[in-house]
Structure formats: C-alpha cells, structure tokens
Amino acid sequence: MPIESTAEQPRVFSLSERLYPWVASTDHKRLGIMYVIAALLFLVVAGAQALLMRTQLAVPMNHVVSPAMYNRLFTMHGTTMVFLVGMPLLAGFTNYLVPLMLGARDMAFPRLNAFGFWAFLFGGLLLYYGYLGGGGLYGSGSAPDVGWFAYAPLTERAFSRGSSTDYWILGVMLTGFGSLASAINVIATTLSLRCPGMNLSRMPLFVWLMLIDSWLILIALPPLNAAQIMLLLDRRFGAHFFDTQAGGSALLWQHFFWIFGHPEVYILIFPAFGIVSEVVPVFSRKPIFGRQAMVAAVVAIGFISTSVWAHHMFTVGMTSISNAFFAASTMLVAIPTGIKIFNWLATMYGGKILLEVPMLFCCAFIFHFLIAGLTGVMLAVAPFDWQLHDSYFVIGHFHFTLIGGFVFGMFAGIYYWFPKATGRMWNGKLAKLHFWLFVIGFDLTFVPMHFLGFLGMPRRIYTYAPGRGWELLNFIETVGAYVQAIAIACFVINTIHSIRKGRRAGGDPWDAWTLEWSTASPPPEYNFEVIPVVRSSRPLWDLKHPQDPDWKYE
Amino acid sequence: MSTAAVPVPEDWHPPDRGVVGIASFIVAEAALFLMFLIGYLFYLGKSLNRPYPAQVLKTPVFITICLLSSSATIVLAERALRRDAVRRFLLWLGATILLALIFLAGTGLEWRELIVDDHLTIATNVFGTTFYSLVGLHATHVTIGLIFMLIVMIASLTGFPVQTQERRIRFLSWYWHFVDVVWVFVFLVVYVIGR
C-alpha cells in the first residue's frame, strides 16, 4: 500500500477519510467490489427471508409467520434475489474484470458507471423502505406482497392499498436504470477500449458473454420499465392499462413482464457461463474446447431467449398455436446450451484437472445446471406444464438454475478472482467446507421440491394440512436450508479473515492466461503500466512460453 | 504481449466509445417505445365508453411537419459547427428549438381540446390511457432534447467555446433524429392506423 510506505509514522484515518475514496470513486475496480459487497449483503437479507419461510413450512400448520407476512417474505425474497443480488453480482464481476481482461485502464464511461452503482443501491434501499413506508396514507400494507412478478390485477389500487406496490415499482425501476447504465458501459468498453491486437476473436469468453448479456439487458429491461410506468400510471393517475374492469387486460402485464422476465434468467446465467468458461480451462490446464462454437452458442441463446417468454403462461389459456410455438422455441434453447455443456466437458477431458475450490464449484455448476436444463425441457412441454405449473416442481427447477447455475458460478468466480481483488489467498479448508456444506444443503433443499411438486404442493402457500405426504420432504428441505446458511457463514468468516490475514497471493496464483493476471494483485488504479498488445486469445501464455506461443497456431 | 516483441498493429482503430454508447442508449429507448406502441395497438377498439379515436382525433399535420423539419435544421447546425461557423450554428440551433417549441405547443393545444371539449382524460377509457401515455412519453423525450439544446444555446451565447464540442453536438443530434423517427411511428399508429 502506498500510504504505509510513504507515511513516516502510522496515521489513524477517520471513518469519513476511509469512506471518501470509495463513495466518490469512479474506478471500475472499486465500483466492482462495492457491487459485489452490496450484493452479498442483500444475499444475506434475502437468505434470511428464505430461512424464515423454510422454518414456517418445516412442519404442517406452523405459526412462525402470519399469512400476510409470508406473502411479503416470498415477494421480497424473489425481488431481492433477482434485482439486488443477481444483477449487482453480475455488474460487479463485469465492472471489475472486463477492463482488466481487455487491457484497458477503466470502463468507457467511469462516471456513468458510478451512477449505475448508486442507482442500484438506492433502488434497493427504496424497495426495502417499503417495510417502513409501505402503509402510505392509507396506513394499510407494509412491504410489497404481490409476488416478484407482480401479476395484475392484484397490483391495482383496489387490491393493493397503501404504497407497497409503488415502492416495488420505483425501487425495481431505479435498479433497472442502474443496470441499463452498466450495460451501455460494458458494450462501449468492449467494443471501443480493447487493447491493440485484441480482436473479437481473441477476446476472453467471459467478455464475450458479458457483451451479449449487456445486449440482452438493453432490450429486455426497457419492457419491464415500460410495464412498470404503465402500472404506476394505473395506480396514481387512474389509467386503465391493467384494470380489467375498464377494458384493461391483466394478460398484457403477463406478456410485458415475461418479455423482460425470460431474457432476465439468461441475463443472470450468462455471467456464470462466462466464469465457468474462464475457470474450467485454467484448472484443466487446457485451452477451452471449441471457442467459436461457445461464442456462437451464446449468441444463439441470446437470440432465442427473446422469443420464449410465454412458456411462463401456458396455463392462462393461449391458443394452441401459441403454445406450440413457445414450447418449440423453449426446447430449442437446449441445443446451444447442450453445446456449451459438452464443450466444458470436452475441455476437462484429457486435461490435468486441479480440484481447487473454483473448479469444484464449476463441476457442481455443470452437474446441477444440466439437471435444471432437463427439468426446463420437461416444463417446456405444455401439457406437462399444465399439470405442474405453480407447483413446487417449478420452484425446484428455477432454484436449480439460479443457485445450482448462477450462484455456483458466482462462487467459482469469487474464489477464482478473490486473490486478484484482495491480493490475499483464502483459507482452503474453510472454502472446501463451504463448498461441501453448500452443495449438500442445496441438494437437500431443492431436490425434494421436485417430488413435492409431483405430490401436488402448490407454491406460495404459507402452510399446509398434515396427512398429504408432504411432511417429511418439507422437513428435509428446511434442514437443507439451515445447512446452506452454515455454509454461507463459513464463506463470510473465510472472506473477512482472509482479507486481513490470508497469505499473499502474488500476481498470478493460478498460472492463468488472461490479461488480468499479468498485473499486480490487487491491480493498481491504472491497471497496466504499459497498455498490452495481444496476438492470441491466451496473451499471458504467449508471454510465459515465448518458445511456443499460441499465435503460431491460431 | 510485450511491446518489444510485438509491434502495435498499425490499423488499430476501435470505434468511438461515444458512438457505441449513444447507439446502445437509442436501442434501449427504442425497446421502451416499442412496448408503448404495442400497448396502443393492443387496446385499439377496446374502449368500453366514448370518446373513440375516430370521433376526437385530428391529424396534426402542421406540428408533424415542424418536428420532422427540425431534423433537417439540426443537421444544418451540425454542419455549420464542423466548419467553425458558430453564428450560423446558433441560428440553425435556434430554428430547431423554435420548431420543437411549436411541436410541444401544438401537442399542448391538442391535449387541451381533448380534455376540455371532448372530456377525454387518461382515466376516461383505455383509449385515453394509451393515447396520453404514448404521446406523453414522446413529448417527454422532445422536452428532454429541448432542454439539452437550450443548455447548448445558453452556454454558447454566454461565451462557451461550443466549437470544441462538435462530437457531443453530434450525439445530441442523433438523439433528436431518434425522437423524430419515433414520432413517425407514433403518428402512423395513433393517427393513421388507429382511427
């Protein structure tokens, strides 16, 4: 640290002196770290909400929370996990890594970047302010309780008194503006700030994924904002967009929401794809298998993902042609996704696999995400969906994609780049404990959900009567939820401990190949002393092996 | 990787970050307007009570001509700035501002007539709901563009060297073209198809 070396005697910094460089920062690395920390804090909050729900459902006819509070819990849990954990985590990784991987000194628009972060953070606080101010002038209602997809007409004034739904609209809309700012920034950075020689064909896969991801954000988030503006007009100005009594349509909200909502799940999974595509090659000691196919697959997923939204709506009674179209387009996603999974496996095949913790999370990712994809194909079959829609099978399915897919990928990324961001190595034993407890807890919680769905348990019920055969599975799920909580505690302890006491990691602890490992850990504010020039997709390999560089073969 | 081993590629010209940024922004805005246009088309003929579009809407020919020609005047302003003719730039920028003001005034008069004479508000029926939100969203964008142009105007008149900002003026002009193109679609949907 420059401060320690230049100051003659150690000086105590006041809190505001220590906070100022963070609050006023436009540095992509600081913003990235702030995004990740804020997201992890919201993860703990939303995780606690999930624990409360699981505690309530542990045994039949339980009375831990009231029905109204349960509604608020699942609404806030879902909204938080998607908009305040998922989106900022991906924004954090992107902010931190994209300039470093491209050999740039910062993002294209540093101030816009800071705006994006603060818009997200205050959007999140506005959403949570609902717990205090949600009653509004009516004095009825608390936090939002309309579910994370806020179906009309329950969100109309007649059914949602007070201001809770308005806080949902405004809070989420503000985080959406932040995501849009961040997406525009990533696209401009990727296209304009690549270091000399960094063609699109040499760009790291993570950056490729985030480029397509930002494109999806660009076309998927405005529809949500449009629908939310309409809803706000309905609630505050007496408009009738979703007001069924005056000719409005509740169905239109569903379409508008899922036109955003389905691309959103790909927006969340792409960064995980990107991280796995970076981690698996390094820990298999092989270049990624089928680079071009990987890029083509993600572009294909990006395209298809904009035309699958109504598979969330098979049960609302669309025409059979619509059902057939959306079933077919949804199944089509399985093809490029399958290409990606096979390419990761082919990268591992014949490699010298190092089972470090990031790689363990990647293996867990591939396994669980495959299952999530398979149940997704099952749900794409419209008649199957008629049977299991809004049951715990769906809950099991999407938690497999979002935890087994997204969160496992994020943890792989956190463990992989933690030494880069902090300059310290984490504790291996605690990290392995975190991994095993988390995976076991995850499977205990979410595998039984599929079977509960088959047994007819609907989602979003606050309790259930005994004697339906749901007791044992529900109890196992709750046990699993607590095991996951212990795992997260291991992670938090490990992080806090390792930031202070972990051993020095050095610039390149994993012997990796992308540009971020060519600079110091943590990187200086200017990232690279000399802007690098690259000639292959593994520039650091070329540097380490001048006798056998990649560019001879690419 | 190191500069010694590999010479810098001579023809390394990545695109201007501002161009990419403003283009991305316009894509997002287009997605936003698309949803309101879809909403308008979806609710055509679904109003449960009067007034209906055919009874009250008049084709706003004059203000449409004004708005579309403001795209030409801002291009002339840009061209003047590129040749360092600041006075001519201000003249054409002033013309653009004037045309935008006429457009907004025309919209205001149209709304006044609809509200006062025809008793159509946002709460009357789904026609009122979709009409005021779509046209209002567009008018909001016109207003935002107008504010930016006024900032440029006032800054240049008070001595700011506007010729140094040729690139940013270009982005403002792109935004303005986008707002005009959106009006073409709004016009087609509301006043041609929707009646």
* Average pLDDT along chain A, 554 residues, taken 10 residues at a time: 54 86 93 96 96 96 94 95 96 96 94 96 95 79 88 89 92 96 96 92 95 96 96 94 91 95 95 97 94 95 93 92 95 95 96 95 96 95 94 96 96 96 94 97 97 95 94 96 97 95 92 94 92 90 88 81
Residues 71-110 of A with CB under 8 A from B: 108-109
Q: What would the mean pLDDT of B25-48 be, rounded to a whole number?
A: 95
- Is the Cβ–Cβ distance between A249 and A173 less than 8 Å? no
* CA nearest neighbour of A207 among A187, A192, A225, A224: A187
A398 half-sphere exposure, CB direction, 13 A CA radius: 19
Residues B178, B67: Cα–Cα separation, whole Å: 12
Closest CA to B72 of B39, B56, B95: B95
Q: Amino acid identity, residue A107?
A: M
What whole-number percentage of chain B has pLDDT above 70?
95
Q: Under DSSP, is residue A152 helix (H, G, I), strand (E, B) or coil?
A: coil
In this complex, is the C-beta atom of A318 within 8 Å of any C-beta atom belonging to chain B? Answer: no
* Chain B residues within 8 A of A248 when measuring between CB atoms: 43, 126, 129
Residue ranges of domains in chain B: 23-44+56-193
Task: Find, among A297, A492, A495, A261, the residue nearest to A398 by Cα.
Answer: A261
Q: How far apart are CA A479 and CA A191, in angstroms?
A: 47
| Residue in this structure with the two tokens 């379409």, named with its chain if needed | A255
Nearest C-alpha neighbor of A182 from the set A268, A122, A123, A109: A109
**pLDDT one-digit tens code per residue, B107-152:** 999 999 999 999 999 999 999 999 999 999 999 999 999 999 999 9
Phi, psi of B120 (to 5 degrees): -110, 115
Q: How many CB pairs under 8 A join A and B?
A: 137
Q: Where are the domains of chain A?
A: 14-552
Residue A11: both structure tokens together:
């000086």
CA distance B112 to B120: 10
Per-residue pLDDT for B5 more than 80?
Answer: no
Contacts of residue A100, Cβ cutoff 8 Å, sequence gap at least 6: A29, A420, A515, A516, A519, A523, A527
CB contact under 8 A, B20 and A219: no
pLDDT band at residue B50 under the 50/70/90 scheme? confident
- Class level of CATH domain B23-44+56-193: mainly alpha
**A247·B48 Cβ contact <8 A:** yes
* Confidence (pLDDT) at B2: 45
| Residue A552 Cα, gap to closest chain B Cα (Å) | 13
Q: Is residue B3 very low, low, confident or very high in pLDDT (cuts 50, 70, 90)?
A: very low
Among B25, B35, B42, whose Cβ lies nearest the Cβ of A226? B35
What is the number of other CB atoms lying within 10 angstroms of the CB of residue B19? Answer: 16
User: Could you give the CA distance from residue A411 to residue A82 in angstroms, rounded to a whole number?
Assistant: 16
Nearest C-alpha in B relative to A532 = B1
| Cross-chain Cβ contact A188/B17 below 8 Å | yes
Min Cα–Cα distance to chain A from B112, Å: 17
Distance from the first to the final alpha carbon of chain B:
64
Inter-chain CB proximity A241 and B47 less than 8 Å: no
- Three-class HEC string of A433-468: HHHHHHHHHHHHHHHHHHHHHHCCCECCCCCCCCCC
C-alpha span between A230 and A236 (Å, rounded): 10
Q: Say if CB A73 and CB A65 are below 8 A apart.
A: yes
User: Would you state the torsion angle of the CA atoms of residues A295, A303, A384, A78, taken in this order, to the nearest 10 degrees?
Assistant: 90
Instruction: List A residues 111-140 in contact with B (Cβ-Cβ < 8 A).
Output: 112
Q: What is the ipTM of this complex?
A: 0.93
Is the minimum CB–CB distance between A543 and chain B shorter than 8 Å? yes
Mean pLDDT of B70-91: 94
Contact A230 B126 (CB under 8 A): no
Q: Considering only alpha carbons, which residue of chain B is nearest residue A215?
A: B24
> Which chain A residues are closer than 8 Å to B3 by Cβ?
530, 533
Choose among B6, B14, B48: nearest Cβ to A191. Answer: B14
Fold of A14-552: Cytochrome C Oxidase; Chain A (1.20.210)
Which of B35, B46, B121, B182 is best to mutate for the A interface (most A CBs within 10 A)?
A: B35
Write the single-letter amino acid at A498.
S
Residues of A whose CB is below 8 A from B131: none
**Residue of chain A whose alpha carbon sits nearest to that of B3:** A533
CB contact under 8 A, A241 and B126: yes
Say if the Cβ atoms of B32 and A226 lie within 8 Å. Answer: yes
pLDDT at A184: 97
CB A144 within 8 A of CB A89: no
Kindly report the pTM of this predicted structure.
Answer: 0.93
CA pair distance B13, A55, nearest whole angstrom: 58
Give CA–CA dist A490/B82, Å, rounded: 61
User: Rounded CA gap, A530 and A541, in Å?
Assistant: 18
pLDDT, mean over chain B: 92
Nearest to A204 by CA among A268, A267, A105, A274: A274
> The dihedral of CA A41, A44, A50, A55: what is its sign?
negative
Using an 8 Å Cβ cutoff, are A280 and A347 in contact? yes
Tell me if B133 and A191 make a contact (CB, 8 A cut-off).
no
What phi and psi values does residue A529 have, to the nearest 5 degrees?
Answer: -60, -50
Element (H, E) at A183: helix A164-192
Interface membership of A258 toward B (CB under 8 Å): no
**Tokens (6 digits) for A65:** 């929370």
Q: Which of A191, A196, A248 sits opposite B12 (nearest CB)?
A: A196
C-alpha triplet A364, A295, A297: angle, nearest 5°: 70
Which of A218, A246, A259 lies nearest to residue B27, judging by beta carbons?
A: A218
- Nearest-by-CA chain B residue for A543: B1
Closest CA to B81 of B2, B150, B3, B173: B173
Higher pLDDT, B10 or B177: B177
Contacts of A292 (CB under 8 A, 6+ apart): A201
| Inter-CA distances, A513 with A340, A508, B194, Å | 20, 9, 58
